Amino acid sequence: MTVAINPDGASAQPAFLSKERIIAKPGFNRWLVPPAALAIHLCIGMAYGFSVFWLPLSKAIGITAPVACSADLGFFEQVFASSCDWQISMLGWMYTLFFVFLGCSAALWGGWLEKAGPRKAGLVSALCWCGGLLISALGVYSHQIWLMWLGSGVIGGIGLGLGYISPVSTLVKWFPDKRGMATGMAIMGFGGGAMVGAPLATALMGHFASADGVGVWQSFVAMAAIYFVFMLAGALGYRVPPTGWKPAGWTAPAKQASNVMITQGHVHVSKAWRTPQFWLVWAVLCLNVSAGIGIIGMSSPLLQEVFAGQLLGNQLSFTELSAAQLVEIAAIAAGFTGLLSLFNIGGRFFWASCSDFIGRKATYFVFFGLGFALYAAVPALGNVGSLALFVLAFCIILSMYGGGFATVPAYLADLFGTQMVGAIHGRLLTAWAAAGILGPVLVNYLREYQLSIGVERAAAYDITLYILAGLLVLGFICNALVRPVAPKHFMSEAELAAERASEAKKAPQAAELSWAPAAGSQALALLAWLAVGIPLAWGVWITLEKTLVLFR
């Protein structure tokens, strides 16, 4: 943290991006912080929606139809080829890069974020994510896929990690009375980013497309500019509470049997990852995400192949449908995917808020217990042709997938304290990187194996769903083994004071710790919420329009 020194030895104003500069003053409205976090998460959440670019990019050279590469052209030669179109399988590597580098960057720089503060981390995230889009635009313009992997996949993935964890520690400290709800509000933005970004990207590609190009590189440039404005506003909007701050009239609950999992101490990140609790929660997140993320990637073909002609009112199997009928059920499946997105987003806020009342551990017990029952029941629902119950089951499953992401920061804060929860959360996100590989590989390869041995398409997912149900049983056991952190792992009073040293110098007097929002701050908070709420509402409306096709 940087503080300039005058020639006479007196301390000058802290640097603009330093953590000391953004310590809130009395009268600050804490409800200004969640929309700042949402502004960043809605932008980086477009990582979920990148698939809208795959089909246009697969014919970037041919424009109307893909230009196939020569059969004797190897993989690495295709990476640098500029005369033939990319296969969607090559483009799909972007997803793997996104989540691997998200997890790795969050783990590597989570500790730095705690020292540097959310403003600096948010700005670096904006530069990486938007700069990555510009490099990707150059990759599309020059038709070099390695530039896309480097730009959006690697550099953009680093921006994802820093942007994702940038508000976690801050929100937990601003909302000690509503930890789950606060993190749920921010992290729901990551799930909603694709709902806003995907239709925006589609509209931009439609505007820029011409006889000479599919309009993708221009769309990347436009989105980089738009996103940078929003992410910069979010980063500048961050404020951290002074040491010891608490909401007016709130006192920390005494340790009771009902909240035994909530610690009163703080564990340093260097010790947290060596505790059994960290690795048990790591397994809990990994198993919950592995089950959900595999289904997200296969939701559209799953509905089409299981129900096939039933979606159109006949009993034809998937292979018996005509080309026109396949187009019709693809549109219905798109509505199904959109509906799952809505439940993914809503679940982040709903389940995280519920965890404030029933506890984090109990919430994960619901995820794994109810999830197991639903995964195990889905094959039977498909076999009897119950479309409504089939769709409802997956909607609940996806709500718990999103809820798992939003609840885990509060779970960590309960176990390890709030002082370094951002850094601990960053290291925990390596579980997401592992799940991003395990889930899709498990679902995709099991499906291919089932088809290769002659299993009908409608039944090809049954074994996979039973295995995913088994993963949830393992998650239930891991969650049951989580116990309160032993006191020996807590920082001593001296160690905690050293961590808080710079903040303590600027901490207000005890009488100022419970100040209420200043007059007029409510109007400013309303404007901030409208700035992020209007784009999100637009994305929800577009998604609902697509979802209606499912119920016609």
**Residue from 279, 287, 335 nearest 311 by CA:** 335
Mean pLDDT check: name the lowest of 32-46, 309-323, 531-545. Answer: 309-323
Split at pLDDT 50, 70, 90, the class of 515 is low
- In this prediction, residue 38 carries a pLDDT of 94
Share of the chain above pLDDT 70, in %: 91
- In this prediction, residue 5 carries a pLDDT of 44
Split at pLDDT 50, 70, 90, the class of 408 is very high
pLDDT at 291 over 80: yes
Split at pLDDT 50, 70, 90, the class of 514 is low
Q: Is the dihedral of CA 172, 175, 179, 182 positive or negative?
A: negative
Split at pLDDT 50, 70, 90, the class of 403 is very high
**Residue from 22, 39, 24, 27 nearest 530 by CA:** 39
Mean pLDDT check: name the lowest of 202-216, 218-232, 291-305, 348-362. Answer: 291-305
Question: Average pLDDT for residues 284-301, to the nearest whole number?
Answer: 83
pTM of the model: 0.83
The better pLDDT of the pair 491, 445 is held by 491
Mean pLDDT check: name the lowest of 130-134, 283-287, 383-387. Answer: 383-387
- The helix-helix angle for 276-307 and 462-480 (nearest 10°) equals 160
Residue with tokens 């896309």: 148
- In this prediction, residue 552 carries a pLDDT of 65
Spatial neighbors of 198 by CB under 8 A, at least 6 apart, are: 46, 49, 52
**Residue from 216, 106, 194, 113 nearest 157 by CA:** 106
Structure tokens at 106: 């969050």
Residue 148's identity, in one-letter code, is: M
Are 157 and 93 in contact by the 8 Å Cβ rule? The answer is: no
User: Highest mean pLDDT: which of 168-182, 323-337, 348-362?
Assistant: 348-362
Mean pLDDT of the chain: 86
The better pLDDT of the pair 478, 452 is held by 478
The better pLDDT of the pair 83, 146 is held by 146
The better pLDDT of the pair 462, 506 is held by 462
pLDDT at 307 over 80: yes
The better pLDDT of the pair 527, 548 is held by 527
The better pLDDT of the pair 469, 49 is held by 469
CA–CA distance, 239 with 309 (Å, rounded to integer): 54
- In this prediction, residue 450 carries a pLDDT of 81
- In this prediction, residue 36 carries a pLDDT of 95
CA–CA distance, 338 with 67 (Å, rounded to integer): 31
User: Highest mean pLDDT: which of 91-100, 336-345, 467-476?
Assistant: 467-476
Spatial neighbors of 490 by CB under 8 A, at least 6 apart, are: 263, 265, 266, 267, 417
**Residue from 363, 368, 344 nearest 470 by CA:** 368
- In this prediction, residue 301 carries a pLDDT of 75
- In this prediction, residue 363 carries a pLDDT of 96
- In this prediction, residue 4 carries a pLDDT of 45
Spatial neighbors of 194 by CB under 8 A, at least 6 apart, are: 45, 46, 47, 48, 49, 341
Residue 252's identity, in one-letter code, is: A
Please give the helix or strand (H or E) that residue 12 lies within, else none.
Answer: strand 11-14
> Residue 343 CA to chain centroid, in angstroms?
14
The better pLDDT of the pair 405, 546 is held by 405
pLDDT at 533 over 80: yes
Split at pLDDT 50, 70, 90, the class of 516 is low
- In this prediction, residue 248 carries a pLDDT of 78
**Residue from 245, 349, 252, 348 nearest 29 by CA:** 245
CB atoms < 10 A from the CB of 258, how many? 10
pLDDT at 139 over 90: yes
Are 148 and 196 in contact by the 8 Å Cβ rule? The answer is: no
Are 269 and 107 in contact by the 8 Å Cβ rule? The answer is: no
**Residue from 306, 358, 304 nearest 335 by CA:** 304
- In this prediction, residue 10 carries a pLDDT of 44
Split at pLDDT 50, 70, 90, the class of 122 is very high
Residue 180's identity, in one-letter code, is: G
Split at pLDDT 50, 70, 90, the class of 20 is confident
R_g of the chain, CA atoms, integer Å: 24
* pLDDT tens digit sequence for 465-489: 898 999 999 999 999 999 999 999 9
Residue with tokens 């609902």: 544
CB atoms < 10 A from the CB of 332, how many? 21
For 49, 135, 217, 401, 514, the CA distances from 214, given in Å and listed in that order, are 18, 17, 8, 34, 56
CB atoms < 10 A from the CB of 6, how many? 8
